[in-house]
Structure 1
Amino acid sequence: MQLQDFLTSRRAKVQPEQVGLHPGTNRRVPGLRRGEVAQLAGVSVEYYTRMERGDVGAVSETVVNAVARALLLDDAERAHLFDLARTFDSVSPRPRRRPGGVLTVRPSLQFVLDTITTGPAFVRNGRMDVLAGNQLWRALYADMYAGQGAQPNLARFTILDRKHSEPFHPNWDLAADITVGILRMEAGRDPHDKDLHDLIDELTTRSEDFRRRWGAHNVRDHGTGTKHFRHPVVGDLHLVYEAAELVADPGLSLLIYGAEPGSSSAAALQLLGAWAATHENSGTSTVRLAAE
């Protein structure tokens, strides 16, 4: 059960001293005991135990926030806890999500992406399927498109195509952690997404690294940050990114990458754009074909 596994994993990460409790002796579990979480959250041990097991039905926002504070959850973990708690509440409205299996975008959205010419930009769903991208994005992730076709999946590329994703991500472990954290967040938001379950089953079956990371129950909020890529044509790229959910398309996110003006990464992006234009116009749009 996701809720039980998540709360158990978070309890294990918090030491008593971090929350002002004396550790005592003869502790049989790592981190906090259930009773200690209950004490810190201001609920009975019986109630918290039932909550952790998913046996209490609807859980109030006040209680969820209290448990989140007790477990020192960050913003992403707190949001994930609310998603998991909502699973047991048949009354609270669920966010409207894009139907599963839909891998198209409105033509106007592609037009907008194509107007972004100085940085990679793309649209993905919560399963990390790439639904659309501009020319720079396709050039940046050319190896992914070469391996998967017109509508690839970022998780499959990162986790399963290690031959190309490890050189592309100089810190592959961090890229893998982020990928799994995004999928874990999505599993909490939409636990009935069959396509997501199928993807997770595929990754679990084919990758020991994924199984280990998935079992850790760590989550990521992928809203803003920095990325380091090593492109086989233009070399190192240190880029910032911003993400926003599309109001007209719930469940879809627009991500735009950029480089600091005047930096070597900005120059590399310009070179990447020139390379992309040349190879797309000539019908050779993959790094693999260019490099081999």
Structure 2
Amino acid sequence: MGTPLGNFIRAKRDSIQPESLGLPHRDRRRSPGLRRQDLAVSAGISVEYLTRIEQGRDRNPSPVMVDALADALRLDPSERTHLRYLAKITGDVCSPRFRPTPPPRQVRAAVRKTLDLLEPGIAIVTNRLGDVLAHTSGFETLTAGTGLFDTTPPNLTRYVFTDPRARTFFADWDDIADEHAFDLWLAPSVENLEWFTAELTPIAGPDFTGRLNHHVVPRRGLLRLHHPAGHELRLERQSLELLTDAQQLVVFHPADEQTTAAIDDLRRPRGQLRSIS
């Protein structure tokens, strides 16, 4: 006898036409939909293991395995949430009753004084989950109109993967997405990582889970931005680890004169004329 989890996976597999995933049509199939072998290959698991899940002989697949199956089945956010519920991941990881103590959001007075010294430069204090903990006025100017501060509290990782404006703002969005997914493995605790990824996965989908599970080491090159005001910006980044706080201080420097001039223009009050020599 199967389980609700196995029955759901089998039902979704039977409802998918192979052609929709770029697979050849097979006229002699005795059952409709996607073959078990095709789903297993797409999810990166063995056919034997998928069979055990569908038949209810494996009742506790890992969150990583469930996410891989959700990606392979092309589940929409609501279906993905239901799959996680059936796998008892929602109850074990996502339930607010089991939410771990969030990492501290306090920024030490000495670090805030350092930010003050960096004014009006561009600097930020974050943790590995992407929470924006403190920033200079220069950083706020840099991100004005991008949507980052539209949610409270602001979180860079959530912004990168869930706000469509991020794909325009970050010229090299794929590289930035790799960075934020990789940094989650360095989260303050495993519990924080599991809770945050369980919360983000249903709305971020394969763009997030694929990167998280591939452990892509980011290059962290120049940060190229398409600012909503029309400026093309190139910034160098210097990171200082605040080990005792599980936080990091990141300072951004213009990489060329064009960026310096563009940042000066962004700092200028709107409506103020710029003198031309």
User: Aligned with 1:179: secondary structure?
Assistant: helix
For 1:182, the equivalent position in structure 2 comes to 183
Gap change, CA 1:260 and 1:125, over 3 Å in 2: same
Aligned to 2:199: 202
Higher relative contact order (CA 8 A, sep 6+): 1
Alignment length (residue pairs) = 170
Contact 1:120/1:256 (8 A) holds in 2: yes
Can you give the 5+ residue segments of structure 2 that lack an aligned partner in the other structure? 1-100, 273-277
Aligned-pair distance for 1:180?
A: 0.9
State the shift of 1:204 in Å: 1.3
CA contact (8 A) 1:169 1:175 kept: yes
Q: State the AA in 2 paired with 1:105.
A: V
- Secondary structure at the residue paired with 1:238? strand
CA deviation vs aligned residue, 1:48-73 (integer Å, no higher than 9, x gap): xxxxxxxxxxxxxxxxxxxxxxxxxx
**Sequence identity (%):** 27
Q: CA deviation at 1:246?
A: 2.1
TM-score by length of 1: 0.52
Contact 1:128 1:155 in 2 (8 A): yes
1:146 is aligned to: 149
Find runs of 4+ consecutive structure 1 residues off by over 4 angstroms. none
Task: Provide the rounded CA distance (Å) in 2 between the counterparts of 1:170 and 1:214.
Answer: 21
Distance 1:275 1:177, change over 3 A: farther
Distance 1:211 1:148, change over 3 A: same
CA distance in 2, matches of 1:101, 1:214: 20
Change (3 A) 1:181 1:265: same
1:14-42 superposed Cα distances (whole Å, 9 cap, x missing partner): xxxxxxxxxxxxxxxxxxxxxxxxxxxxx
Partner amino acid for 1:147?
D
Over aligned residue pairs, what C-alpha RMSD do you find? 2.6
CA distance in 1, matches of 2:249, 2:160: 19
1:250 Cα deviation from its structure 2 partner: 3.0
- The residue matched to 2:133 in structure 1 has which SS? strand
> Once the two structures are superposed, what CA deviation does each residue of 1:103-122 show, in whole Å capped at 9, x if it has no partner?
12134422321331353101
Query: What CA distance in whole angstroms lies between the structure 1 residues aligned with 2:229 and 2:173?
Result: 19
SS of the aligned residue for 1:265 comes to helix
Give the corresponding residue for 1:230.
226
2:190 is aligned to 191
Highest Rg: 1 or 2? 2
What's the secondary structure of 1:245's corresponding residue? strand
Q: Distance in 1 between matches of 2:102 and 2:199?
A: 17
Q: Aligned partners of 1:275, 1:177: CA distance in 2, in Å?
A: 35
